[in-house]
Amino acid sequence: MFRVAASSAYKASSLRAWNNVATARSISQWAKVPQGPPDPILGVSEAFKADTNSKKMNLGVGAYRDDNNKPYVLECVKKAEKIIFAASQDKEYLGITGLAAYNQLAAALAYGDDSAALKEGRIVTTQSLSGTGALRIGGEFLSRWFNGKGGKKIYLPTPSWGNHGNIFRDSKLEVGSYRYYDKKNIGLDFAGLKEDLANLPDESVVLLHACAHNPTGVDPTEVQWRELSDLFKKKKHVAFFDMAYQGFASGDPSKDAFAVRHFVNEGHNILLAQSFAKNLGLYGERVGLFSAVVADKEEAKRVDSQIKILVRPMYSNPPFSGPRIVKEVLGSPELKAEWHREVKLMADRIISMRFELRNHLEKTYGSQRNWSHITSQIGMFCFTGLTPEQVDRLKNEFSVYLTRDGRISIAGITSGNVKYLAEAIHAVTK
């Protein structure tokens, strides 16, 4: 009798405990958190992985692949890692703004070794978590300290990298836009761009892609950049450059930095976000740099102090493994020369795939459409001009995966699949 009563009491107690847990779960503080929308590029990759077609192609991911469609680790990076390993360096914290030698070399790569602003101590730098982190630091700095007539608002080109708006909105900035891409002509709407920038309030903050515009691959010419510099000067706009592809766009780091260097040489106090993900293949190392050109050394000290105050509660101080790699590569004449050769190799492969794709469309398959934009655009991405319906057909009929805006990553094209891609595109556009 005692055992039965004890057993019943235990079961009752267990049931109450289970009910209490269930009740607690039902009133969870996170019960009303909504399901967020899926990332469009991640969705492309997941669909690609599930496809069993041996000819399938993933043209959504923005990461370089060699002609065997494999990730590529640069030889100069491998050599730098060996040097770092042999040196048995310590694991102490870096300062808030990062590895000073790396910052100096990265800034020199962007602004030029002969930059007057660098020599005069007018460029404030801080290591960042790749280009995304640099943009976020810049956004937070603008949110706290920008007092121009344009207000705490940043204007982005239409279209722009999908994460730009998220970064700046999370930095408590209002996000506006200006015309950039002409869908009809599949090129730059330079007249619309100038008109929009001229109509913005004076002293507005404008984001510019320094080279290899993502996602369109459409860049202004050097002559057009000079015009934009004059317009910015007249309107007293602040240029915030995003330079994620220096060297990777044309194969020449100096050529790709033209816009940044011209604006600074013309007296603009720009903001700049750099990344070494693409041009050194350091995707997972998250190596970047935020920098600001200021009026003089005294102003540089004040800005530097506020950037440290900003960064400290955000992530305290940055990691050192990636910056040490970049420091070794850019700090060694031999490794830097090897990097120049390798980044040109990567850029040239991308350029050659553009020409092969266009050649197959026009000559192999006799497409009557104008495909000149494939070779006139630059960098990793190409805005094909394909409609969402045509993109869907590529996926359903040919197992070719890309985002529905028609953007393709040229890095996913190889000499082994470029003809198949041309055949697929021709089939859905003829």
**pLDDT tens-place string over residues 305-344:** 999 999 999 999 999 999 999 999 999 999 999 999 999 9
Q: What is residue 155's predicted lDDT score, i.e. its pLDDT? A: 98
Q: What is residue 39's predicted lDDT score, i.e. its pLDDT? A: 81
Contact 96, 316 (CB under 8 A): yes
Q: What is residue 355's predicted lDDT score, i.e. its pLDDT? A: 97
The residue type of 371 is W
DSSP-assigned letters across all residues of 158-208: ES--TTHHHHHHHTT-EEEEEE-EETTTTEE-HHHHHHHHHHSPSS-EEEE
Q: What is residue 205's predicted lDDT score, i.e. its pLDDT? A: 98
21 has a pLDDT exceeding 60: no
Give the model confidence (pLDDT) of 117-165 as tens digits: 999 999 999 999 999 999 999 999 999 999 999 999 999 999 999 899 9
Q: What is residue 46's predicted lDDT score, i.e. its pLDDT? A: 87
pLDDT greater at residue 125 or residue 4? 125
22 has a pLDDT exceeding 60: no
Contact 243, 213 (CB under 8 A): no
Q: What is residue 17's predicted lDDT score, i.e. its pLDDT? A: 62
pLDDT greater at residue 372 or residue 46? 372
Annotated catalytic residue, options 196, 219, 242, 256: 242
The mean pLDDT value for 397-410 works out to 94
- pTM of this structure: 0.91
- Can you say how many angstroms the Cα of residue 111 is from the centroid of all Cα atoms in its chain? 19
Helix (H) or strand (E) holding 209: strand 205-209
Strand bridging mode 205-209 / 238-243: parallel
The residue type of 427 is A
Q: Rounded mean pLDDT of the chain?
A: 93
Burial 241-257 (b: 16+ CB within 10 A, else e): bbbbbbbbbbbebeebb
The span from the CA of 209 to the CA of 213, in Å, is: 5
Give the model confidence (pLDDT) of 81-92 as tens digits: 999 999 999 999
DSSP-assigned letters across all residues of 237-256: PEEEEEES-TTTTTS-HHHH
**Could you give the maximum distance between any two Cα atoms of the chain, in Å?**
97
397 has a pLDDT exceeding 80: yes
Is 225 catalytic? The answer is no
The mean pLDDT value for 383-403 works out to 95
287: confidence class by pLDDT, cuts 50, 70, 90: very high
Residues 197, 147, 111, 379, CA torsion sign: negative
Going along 66-173, which residue ranges are E strands? 123-129, 153-158
DSSP-assigned letters across all residues of 314-381: HHSS--SHHHHHHHHHHH-HHHHHHHHHHHHHHHHHHHHHHHHHHHIIIIIS---S--HHHHHS-SSE
The residue type of 133 is G
Burial 54-80 (b: 16+ CB within 10 A, else e): eebbbbbbbebbeeeeeebebebbebb
**Is residue 412 classed as helix, strand or coil in its secondary structure?**
helix
Q: What is residue 41's predicted lDDT score, i.e. its pLDDT? A: 78
Is 339 catalytic? The answer is no
Strand bridging mode 381-383 / 407-409: antiparallel
20: confidence class by pLDDT, cuts 50, 70, 90: low
Is 183 catalytic? The answer is no
The mean pLDDT value for 339-363 works out to 96
Residues whose CB is less than 8 angstroms from the CB of residue 237 and which lie 6 or more positions away in sequence, other chains included = 150, 197, 200, 202, 203, 204, 205, 206, 231
Q: What is residue 253's predicted lDDT score, i.e. its pLDDT? A: 97
Helix (H) or strand (E) holding 425: helix 418-429
pLDDT greater at residue 61 or residue 377? 377
The span from the CA of 267 to the CA of 79, in Å, is: 39
The span from the CA of 134 to the CA of 160, in Å, is: 16
Plot region of 399 (φ>0 → left; ψ -120 to 50 → alpha; else → beta): left
Annotated catalytic residue, options 161, 225, 339, 371: 161
Q: What is residue 62's predicted lDDT score, i.e. its pLDDT? A: 84
Structure tokens at 59: 């043209």
DSSP letter assigned to residue 270: -
Q: Which of 179, 271, 189, 197 is nearest to 233 (CA)?
A: 197
Annotated catalytic residue, options 189, 219, 225, 278: 278
DSSP letter assigned to residue 95: B
Structure tokens at 115: 């930059």
